[in-house]
Amino acid sequence: MAGKGSAPGERRGGRKKGTPNKATAAKAAEIASSGLTPLEYMLAVMRRDVPEDASLKDIIAAQMLRFEAAKAAAPYVHPRLAATELSTRDGKPLVVQLINYGNPDPSPIQPTSIPVAVLPGDGSGG
């Protein structure tokens, strides 16, 4: 009698998720054996001090190089934050209404929609 096969979502055999193939593993081993990864190099350039006797031109060039190294290394150190859209429980957009109780003008204040920024994983939002 033949088997029924894998259940939906079930994995049988094969490489586990996240396991690098031979080429990726060899490349990682080669980089590690060299003693300095590209990220470590960029961070070293970023942290390098400018000699005290450097000219203004050399100081500016060093600062620009350090800035570019920091910019290139940043995605590897700090992940980008994703935009989060807030909504109510029923899926409607969240509206923040501002009310000015001290307004001397008797005309009503119109509700205003204000975009709200939320960091990922704080539990609020839809």
pLDDT per residue over 5-49, tens digit each?
778 877 777 778 888 888 888 888 887 787 777 788 888 888 888
Could you tell me which of 37, 49, 47, 45 has the C-alpha nearest to residue 76? 37
Give pLDDT tens digits for 92-114: 888 877 776 766 666 665 655 55
User: Which pLDDT value is given to residue 126?
Assistant: 46
84 Cβ neighbours under 8 A, 6+ residues apart: 117, 118, 119, 120, 125
The average pLDDT across 77-92 equals 81
**CA gap 30, 36 in Å, rounded:** 10
Against a cut of 0.85, is the pTM above it? no
Q: Which residue has the higher pLDDT, 66 or 109?
A: 66
What pLDDT is attached to residue 118?
A: 53
Predicted pLDDT of residue 57:
92
